[in-house]
Structure 1
C-alpha cells in the first residue's frame, strides 16, 4: 500500500521512462565481398534521386548495394512486418502480403530492370516506415491532443547496423534496433501477449451487477465468478484444484464460494492497480473495472505502447516525471535514487497538459494571482453574488499596472483588466512554495494547504497545475542536486516572498499514461480521466499511406 508520506526508492536505470535515448550511430558499412552485387544499377539510382533522404542514406552506407535480391530476404521481411503486431502496431499498414506478391514478379527470371528497381525501393521504403513507427510512433500526438507540448525528435536509426543485419538475412534483428530498448516497453509487450492469450482462451467472465457490494466473508456464486475473474489475469492461487485428478492426495485448496483472505488480498491488489480505494470490497467502481472487456484492455495496452514510443527518447539521466493519469511524481536523481510523491492534477475540464520543459527557479512564500480562466469562471460569479467574498479570501484588487484598488470602485459586471492577488500565508492556494518551469500553459508544481486530498485514490481535482505532496522535500533535493546554496525551511521561516534560481536547470516531463507496468509484474490500468485513449486507439488502427 502506498504510504501517506513520500518515499525514497532505489530505481534501476531501466525503470519506467528513465534514461537517455540510445544514441544510434555507427560506422559505415564495410565493403561487401566480391561475390555480392556491386551496385544498385542506374534504374534504382534514378528512382533514389527522387526519394527521401533516409532511403538514400540507407543505400549510401551500403555502398549502393541492393538488399532484396532473393525470395528468402523478402520472406524474412514479410514475417518481420507481420510480427509488429506484438508491438501493438497494425501489420496490414505495411502490406506484407502485397509485398510478397510483388516480389514474385520482380525476382522471377527475365524480370526487367525497372520492375526490379521499383520493388527494391518499395521494400526498403516499407521497412524504414515500419522502423520509424516503432522508434518514434505511428501517430502524430499533436493531431489528437490539443494540449500536447512535447517535441517528437526525428528518428535516429542506426542505418549501418541495420544494413549489417540485412546482409545477415536477419530482418528481425534490424527491427530490434528500432524498438525502444527499455524494460518498461518490454513489459508492455509481454503484457500485450498475455492479454491476447487471455482473449484466445475466451476472456474472463462478466460479474453480475449485484445490488449489494461483495464483502469479505460473503459466500455464493458471485464470489466464485469473482475468483475466476481474478484468476484469469494471473492469480492462479485463487483457483481450487480438481480433486478428481488427485484422489489419494489431501489438497489444501480454497473454497471457491467463500470470500476468503486470499481473495480479499487479490481484490485489494486489483484495486491498487486500478487507482481504486483498496478496501477489498467489490462496490460499483471496482465492479466496473472488473467488467472491462479483455478487448478494451488490449487496446489500452496498445495505446500506451504508442505513448512510450513518443517519449522513450532524448531523456536525460536525471529529471522530474509527472505521471498525470497515475497521480504520481518521480524525481530521478543524479545519484540513482528515485524520490516519489502523490500529486493532484487538473480536473477533466481543466486538463493538465503534456509538456517538456526545465525547472529554472522556485518561489518561496508565493503570492497567488488568480489566473484569467479561474477568475472568469470561478471567482467573478462569487464576487457578484457576495461583495464580501474578496475580504473573506484575502484577495487584493489590482489595476493592470499593479496599483491596489478599492473593490467598491470596480464595476464587477465588467471589471476590465483588474487582477486579483492573494498574499502569501497559510491559506494561499499555492502553499509555501512553487516549482516553476517555462511553458505556454502557465502550469507549475506547488504546495497546497489542502493536504487531505492526497489521501484520495483518484485526484483529478485541480485547475490544471500540479499539487505535490511533500514538495518542500523535493525543493531541497533540487537545491542539493544542482549545487544551489539554499535551505528551504529557513527561507520559508523568514516570511519573505522571493525567487531562488537553480544553479543548474532540471528537466521536467508531464505525460499521460493509462497503463503502466508495476514492480510485481502486473499491469496497472488507470481511469482515462481525460478521455484520450479512444482517439489514440482509433488513430493507431487507421491505415497509413506508404
Structure 2
C-alpha cells in the first residue's frame, strides 16, 4: 500500500472512531479516571478485534482532555475512562458474551424508573447492531465499533444513575458539593467488575442511591405515571373558593380529586356536599403542600390541585436528579437545611435526631445552595447591618424616623469603628457608615448564631421575629437561616452534657457578653433545595418551587445525551479500504 493510500486510510479510520468513541464531549461526568497502567500495553498479536480497538483509541489518546477543574469541582470526560478501561485489559473486547449485551439493553430500557430517558442511550441502535453482528461474520472493525459503543453507553448510563445526568456546577457556579470521602474511581471499577462477572444488571441495580427516600421517589414516579396513563387527575372548576357548607358540581369535583390523591375515601355515590371529611382532607392536602391549612379550597389550593400529573412527574424526576447529586454526602453526623421545605434537621448515623422550622431568604434575596462545616457558635451576638440591607431597608426608615436607631439599639460607626452621633450624619448621603446593633433579646440575630465559613455571609441564627414561624411559606429573611429552636441545636452540636447542657448554655447567655465558642468537632452543614417530600405513609407531596430552580434542572435533564451514532457499515468500509476486512 502506498504512503498516500495509508494516510487516506488513517484519516478515514480516525474520523470513524472519533464518532464512535465520542472524544468531542458536551457533558462531562463527575468522576475521575481509573488509574492508567504504568507500563505500555498492547493488544495480543492474535487478537484482531483488540488490535482494531487499539487502532481506534491510541491515535486519539493525546486529545483526551485532562482532569477538568472548576473551582473545587472536578470532572473528566467519559472518553478518558474508556481509554483507561481498555488499556487495563490490553484492548481486549468486553462485550463478547451475548448475555452481557442482553443485560445491558434491558438495564438501559429500565432507566426510566429513575427518571432518565432510555432513548438517550440509543438502545434500539445497539440492539439492531447486535442482531446485525450475529447475522453475518463481522469484521474486526465492526466488532470493535460495537464494543466501544457498548462500553461508552455502559459507563454513561451508570454514571448518570450514580452521580446524575445534569452537571449542577453548570447551573450554579457556586456549587461546591464534591464527593468528599467517596472515591469515584471505586464506582467506575465496580461497574467493570460487574461486567467481568457477567452481572451487568447488578451494576445498574447498585448505581443509584440506595437510601429509602430515593426508593420512595422511584415508587412515587411509577404511581404518577400510572395516574397519567389512566387519564390523569380529575380537575376542579376554578373561579370561586370552595368552602365548608357548600354544595354543587365543583364540590363533587373536589371530592373526586381528593379521593384520586389519596386524601379522601372514594365516594360510593355522587356526593356534592362540603362536609367534615372534605374539610379534614383539604387541610391535610394544604399542610402537605405548604399552603395555609384552613380547610377552604381557595385559589392557591385549587391551583395546586389542578397542576397536571405530567408536571408532578417532572417534579419528581428533578428531585431524583438532585438526590443523585447529594445523597452520597449524607453520612455520619451532619446538619441539612431544606430551603424549599423551610426546615432544618440534625442527623446522626443517618437518622434524624432533631428537627426545627426555619425561615429562609426571600426570592429576591435567596438563600444559596452550598456545603460547609459548622465551626463555632456566637453567644449574645451583635449584628453588623449588611450593606444591601443598610441601603435598601435601613436608610429609608432612618430618613423617615430620626429615632429609629435609638429605638432599635443600633449604633452608627465610622470607618475606624468610632461611634457617631446620628444627629450629625447626613442620612441622604451616608457614606462610609457602618450600622451595628447591640446584643440583646431584640437583636436581629437573637441570642445565638451558628457559624460556618462561606462566601455569602450566611449562617444559622436565632430571631426575635418568632411569629413568622407560624406561616406555611417562610421565605421571609434576607438570606440567612432563622431557626425556631436554635438553642436545642447548639446543645446537640456541642454534644457535651456536662459543660454545654441546657443549663450551661443559659449561663453563657446570662453573662451578656458577645463571645465566640469553638465546637469540639466540626459538623458538616448542607444547604440543599428539594421540592418534594415523602409523607409518613409513603405518598409523595409537593412544595412550591419558591426560587424557580426546578425548570433549569428539568430542561437539562430532558436534553439528549450526546452519544455518538454507531455506524457498522462505515466501520466496515474504512477497514475494507485498508485491506483488513478478514
Which residue of structure 1 aligns with residue 438 of structure 2? Answer: 423
State the Cα deviation string for residues 99-127 of structure 1 (Å, max 9, x = none).
22333445553322122112211110111
Which residue of structure 1 aligns with residue 166 of structure 2? Answer: 139
State the Cα deviation string for residues 331-363 of structure 1 (Å, max 9, x = none).
113695510000000000000011100100000
The SS at the match of 2:247 is coil
Change (3 A) 1:312 1:334: closer
Asked if structure 1 preserves the Cα contact closer than 8 Å seen for 2:413 and 2:434, the reply is yes
Q: TM-score, normalised by structure 2?
A: 0.80
Change (3 A) 1:334 1:159: closer
Structure 2: gaps of 5 or more residues: 1-33, 35-45, 65-78, 564-582
* TM alignment of 1:458-537, pairs within 5 A: 458-480=473-495, 485=500, 487-537=504-554
Residue 71 of structure 1, CA deviation: 4.8
Which residue of structure 2 aligns with residue 96 of structure 1? Answer: 123
Q: TM-score, normalised by structure 1?
A: 0.85
Asked if structure 1 preserves the Cα contact closer than 8 Å seen for 2:330 and 2:350, the reply is no
Which residue of structure 1 aligns with residue 232 of structure 2? Answer: 203
Asked if structure 1 preserves the Cα contact closer than 8 Å seen for 2:338 and 2:528, the reply is yes
Q: Are 1:166 and 2:183 counterparts?
A: no
1:468 and 1:418 map into 2 onto residues whose CA distance is 29
1:373 and 1:106 map into 2 onto residues whose CA distance is 66
The SS at the match of 1:150 is coil
Residue 430 of structure 1, CA deviation: 0.4
The SS at the match of 2:472 is coil
Which residue of structure 2 aligns with residue 245 of structure 1? Answer: none
Larger Rg, first or second structure (1 or 2): 2
State the Cα deviation string for residues 525-546 of structure 1 (Å, max 9, x = none).
0011001111111111112223
The SS at the match of 1:330 is strand
Change (3 A) 1:483 1:335: farther
Q: Which residue, 532, 556, 560 being the options, matches 1:543?
A: 560
2:265 and 2:270 map into 1 onto residues whose CA distance is 9
Structure 1: gaps of 5 or more residues: 1-24, 26-36, 242-253
2:498 and 2:139 map into 1 onto residues whose CA distance is 68
State the Cα deviation string for residues 254-285 of structure 1 (Å, max 9, x = none).
76323333333322221121011222221111
* TM alignment of 1:361-400, pairs within 5 A: 361-400=376-415
Q: Which residue, 368, 387, 396 being the options, matches 1:353?
A: 368
* TM alignment of 1:109-188, pairs within 5 A: 109-145=136-172, 148-151=175-178, 155-167=184-196, 169-188=198-217
Change (3 A) 1:537 1:334: closer
Q: Are 1:78 and 2:78 counterparts?
A: no
* TM alignment of 1:253-332, pairs within 5 A: 256-332=271-347
Change (3 A) 1:107 1:440: farther
Change (3 A) 1:475 1:277: same
Q: How many residues align?
A: 498
Q: Are 1:43 and 2:46 counterparts?
A: no
Asked if structure 1 preserves the Cα contact closer than 8 Å seen for 2:383 and 2:445, the reply is yes
State the Cα deviation string for residues 39-87 of structure 1 (Å, max 9, x = none).
9622223434436442244446667542222554334322221211111
Which residue of structure 1 aligns with residue 353 of structure 2? Answer: 338
Q: Which residue, 237, 248, 259 being the options, matches 1:231?
A: 259
Question: In angstroms, what is the RMSD of aligned CA positions?
Answer: 2.6
Residue 220 of structure 1, CA deviation: 2.2
1:436 and 1:64 map into 2 onto residues whose CA distance is 52
1:471 and 1:481 map into 2 onto residues whose CA distance is 16
Asked if structure 2 preserves the Cα contact closer than 8 Å seen for 1:446 and 1:467, the reply is yes
1:337 and 1:161 map into 2 onto residues whose CA distance is 30
